[in-house]
Amino acid sequence: MSGGASQRPVDAAPIIEAKGVTRVLEAVVPVTLVRSVDLAIGARELVAITGPSGSGKSSLLYLLGLLDLPTTGAVLINGRDTARMSEPERARTRLATLGFVFQFHFLLEEFSALDNVTMPMRALGKLGLAEMRARAHDILASLGLADQTHKRPDQLSGGQRQRVAVARALANDPPVILADEPTGSLDSKSSEQVFQILKSLVEDTGKTVVAVTHDLAIAARCERRIHLVDGAIVSDERQLRAAP
């Protein structure tokens, strides 16, 4: 592993750790998706995961996000081995600690932007309905969507839909946002808007953002770049904070 010192110190205690994580897809001929990955991600990091198609980028992200379980090894959240949790406990950990943004927004088409953002809050069950709706409105407003809250996804542009997806990821105020090709289906202007939002979450609110991306120009603007080949990490580089 290589790279220069980061301009911004990273907290010593990692939020997410992968320890010897391997994921094998059982089939007639088993396929290894992720291979012996050791990785620690701390607070206030902006991390890009890159690699060729089929290199295991998304598979690794889903393991870190507790959407899948490793075949061997362990994923720890705040020092706790998630494999030792019950499924309800893992689900609650996902809701409270991790927010997800995908290439295709996966918004519920029959619901408004506001209601889509309240969904994770409803699942976590900590707030009353009025509080959830007020919080959802505030998050959408902070992303420039105050006048779009009652529109359904099919009434929004692609960039607006992805910003609603970011708002949904922020619904429970998780410390970590995991993004799988968050700009992959957007035009250049919308892509830049979404990247700036993710970047500001790190710089202005202290969150950690881990993004799988095939866009090397975006990856170059992240402070940490992890490159995968055939399911294994081949480089993990830090760089000084790039200019906006």
d(CA 141, CA 243): 26
**CA–centroid distance for 137 within its chain:** 21
Helix (H, G, I), strand (E, B) or coil at 239: coil
pLDDT of 9 reads 46
d(CA 173, CA 42): 17
d(CA 53, CA 51): 7
Going from the N-terminus, what domains does the chain have, and what CATH number goes with each?
A: 16-236 (3.40.50.300)
d(CA 83, CA 36): 16
Kindly state the tokens that stand for 177. Answer: 């946002």
pTM over 0.85: yes
pLDDT 10s digit of each residue in the chain, 244 long? 334 333 444 446 899 999 999 999 887 788 899 999 999 999 999 999 999 999 999 999 999 999 999 999 999 999 999 999 999 999 999 999 999 998 777 889 999 999 999 999 999 999 999 999 999 999 999 999 999 999 999 999 988 898 999 999 999 999 999 999 887 777 788 888 888 989 999 999 999 999 999 888 889 999 999 999 999 999 998 876 544 4
- Contact between residue 130 and residue 170 where contact means Cβ atoms under 8 Å apart: no
d(CA 140, CA 163): 8
d(CA 33, CA 58): 9
Ordered DSSP codes for 69-112:
--SEEEEEETTEEGGGS-HHHHHHHHHHHEEEEESS----TTS-
